Chain A
Amino acid sequence: MAELAIETAGLVKTYGDTRAVDGIDLAIARGGVHGFLGPNGAGKTTAIRMLATLIRPDAGEARVLGYDIRTQSDEVRSRVALTGQFASVDEDLTGAENLRLIAKLYGFTPKAAMRRSAELLEAFGLAEAADRQVKKYSGGMRRRIDIAASIVVTPDLLFLDEPTTGLDPRSRNEVWDIIRAMVAYGTTVMLTTQYLDEADQLADKISVIDNGKIIAEGTATELKASVGSGMLHVRVMHRADREAAREILLRELHVEVDTPADPQALTASIEDRGRVTRALTELDAAGIGLAQFSLGQPTLDEVFLSLTGKPAEATEEEAA
């Protein structure tokens, strides 16, 4: 497939004085997951809503699956599906009724709509909740019915707007499994998220967005490389050992080692994970007892700090 899934040039959406999306250029290949990573209010949702033809751009060009979002919005709509940040199903209706409604709107006969709805409810583990109103569903079930509604007719491209925000870890894993199953089938997924680990788990490529602009792009590995591999957190058993431990870390890691307020703790931002193992061996050889020795993933905050020089923070509510 020569055509890109999404191609934009200078996409802009303005709300009053706020440039919610401020000139975005994207070239996203078909297949796999593309992550849109950024804090609240960065413009992720606004960008996705433009691409799904829900709102019109103020400037710029965009083609989705080869179709112009302004002039060929009908073609775009018949090939993409959107699962919004808030439940995009009718909470007053039951799960089964919601799926039948969508199926009928796609032109299924009542009988075929019933069959499709039952099939999807079964696949998403919602068969038992089929006749319950969606407002009585748990957060995880709600997300699943939402995604099921998006694949009543299998889309070529699926937009998922923060699919796991507010979910417990188990439900989050279930949603991740669903996304992986869809990607394995061949659907292209565009995912927005505030969590670096989610983008890391799912996305083949990530665009980091802040204040309506894309500030970095690449694979998770590439982005992390730009930040360093992560933060090393060490706590010595006895505070008297801290200075000795610090010297060993300085020698082995070749990076700055900070001494936080906690008199037993040391932290270091590291670039080469390989050195960490050696540092641990050396600490052990020196007979320094350790209460904690952990290497953390760089967080979204650390990525943002490195990319923008300021921490990621919700500047304002994401424009609707």
Chain B
Amino acid sequence: MTTDETTASAETTTAPAPQASAIAHALASSERPARPSALSTSVTFGWRALLKIKHVPEQLFDVTVFPVIMTLLFTYLFGGAIAGSVSAYIAYIAPGVLVQSVLFITMYTGTTLRTDIDKGVFDRFRSLPIWRPSPLVGMLLGDAVRFIVASIVTSIVCLAIGWRPAGGVVGVVLGVALLLVFAFSLGWIWTFLSLILRTPGSIMGVASFVLMPLLFGSNIFVDPATMPGWLQAWVNVNPVSDLVTGVRALMNGEQIGSELAITLGWSAALVAVFGSLTMWKYRDPR
């Protein structure tokens, strides 16, 4: 009965309507493939992030415009005062401003996740029989694309105003790779925040509060030797300082020292601590 009625109404109306017989067929013809691997589902979620960039290209605005402004502002604002000239400062600031641009935009990971959760689509993901962290891992993988865009834009601006890295293309790529590893790990702090805070605005607030001392209390802009002792103490333990020193070494074609191990160690620790906290909260979010 239902089948006949539905088919009839589909024929008499112009707008397409669901068809009971076709739905019954679709239910019956469903296959049940083997459960995909954790990597496969994570990559699929990365694909989702890329589709979102395709449909909403405005979300690349922050990763393109922000790094340009940062680079130009800091180079021309501080260049003369700190190093005597822009051209002398650019070699020091370029790797640092790259790190700053990318780490700063990692916090959008948290606001994006919060928006996703509020819209209900995460309920769907969480009700699927998949490796549980994969929506989050996939999201961070998709963000890596945004970070790469930001890195390329920043590099081009720096090159345009006179940056000539001694490490060449290989050195710059290696430096960016190290930066991406750290950015991916830092992202877990923001995913955790997005699960315990209720609004995108509050996540931005807390994230800025965390990022300010990390980014400005570092060796990104000036040599720590000029700072008072208490600030030097902080800058020296700040993991961003080690990251910047490492990235600088790679881009300048110098031998990278203990900074590599320290940065990778911090990255592993961030994933271990905030990844676990995130997954703990993710199982039963408010």
B26 at the interface (CB under 8 A from A): yes
Task: Convert B71-106 into 0s and 1s, putting 1 for each residue whose CB lies closer than 8 angstroms to a CB of A.
Answer: 000000000000000000000000000000000000
B266 to chain A, nearest CB (A): 32
A320 to chain B, nearest CB (A): 7
Expressed in whole angstroms, the Cα–Cα distance for A154 and B15 within the complex equals 26
Which residues of chain B from 30 to 55 have any CB-CB distance to chain A below 8 Å in the complex? 30-36, 40-41, 44-45, 47-48, 51-52, 55
A56 at the interface (CB under 8 A from B): yes
> Which stretch, B119-127, B166-174, B209-217, B245-253, touches the partner chain A?
B119-127
Expressed in whole angstroms, the Cα–Cα distance for A141 and B178 within the complex equals 45
Contact of A107 among B25, B30, B34 (CB under 8 A): B34
Q: A97 near B119 (CB under 8 angstroms)?
A: no
Q: B284 — which chain A residues lie within 8 A by C-beta? A: 55-56
Q: A185 — which chain B residues lie within 8 A by C-beta? A: 23-24, 27-28
Q: B33 near A107 (CB under 8 angstroms)?
A: yes
Interface contacts (Cβ under 8 Å), in number, total: 152
Main secondary structure of the interface of B (DSSP, over half): helix
Q: B130 — which chain A residues lie within 8 A by C-beta? A: 105
Q: B129 near A78 (CB under 8 angstroms)?
A: yes
Task: Convert A251-292 into 0s and 1s, putting 1 for each residue whose CB lies closer than 8 angstroms to a CB of B.
Answer: 000000000000000000000000000000000000000000
Expressed in whole angstroms, the Cα–Cα distance for A125 and B17 within the complex equals 5
Task: Convert B105-144 into 0s and 1s, putting 1 for each residue whose CB lies closer than 8 angstroms to a CB of A.
Answer: 0000000000000011101111111100000000000000
Q: B44 near A104 (CB under 8 angstroms)?
A: yes
Expressed in whole angstroms, the Cα–Cα distance for A197 and B4 within the complex equals 23
Assuming the contacts A151-B30, A184-B2, asked whether A89 and B121 have C-beta atoms less than 8 A apart, the reply is: yes
B16 at the interface (CB under 8 A from A): yes
Expressed in whole angstroms, the Cα–Cα distance for A111 and B51 within the complex equals 17
A111 to chain B, nearest CB (A): 12
A314 at the interface (CB under 8 A from B): no
A3 at the interface (CB under 8 A from B): no
Assuming the contacts A78-B35, A187-B27, asked whether A106 and B128 have C-beta atoms less than 8 A apart, the reply is: yes
Which residues of chain A from 44 to 101 have any CB-CB distance to chain B below 8 Å in the complex? 49, 52-56, 74, 77-78, 80-82, 84-94, 97, 101
B281 to chain A, nearest CB (A): 12
7 smallest beta-carbon distances between A and B, as pairs = A78-B129, A123-B22, A107-B33, A125-B16, A86-B120, A181-B20, A107-B36
Q: Can you name 17 A-B pairs with beta carbons within 8 Å?
A: A54-B127, A86-B120, A93-B48, A101-B47, A101-B48, A105-B125, A105-B128, A107-B40, A112-B31, A122-B22, A151-B26, A177-B2, A177-B18, A180-B20, A181-B3, A182-B23, A320-B286
Instruction: Given contact pairs A84-B124, A181-B23, A181-B24, enumerate 7 new A-B contacts (beta carbons under 8 Å).
Output: A82-B127, A86-B120, A88-B123, A105-B36, A106-B129, A153-B30, A181-B6
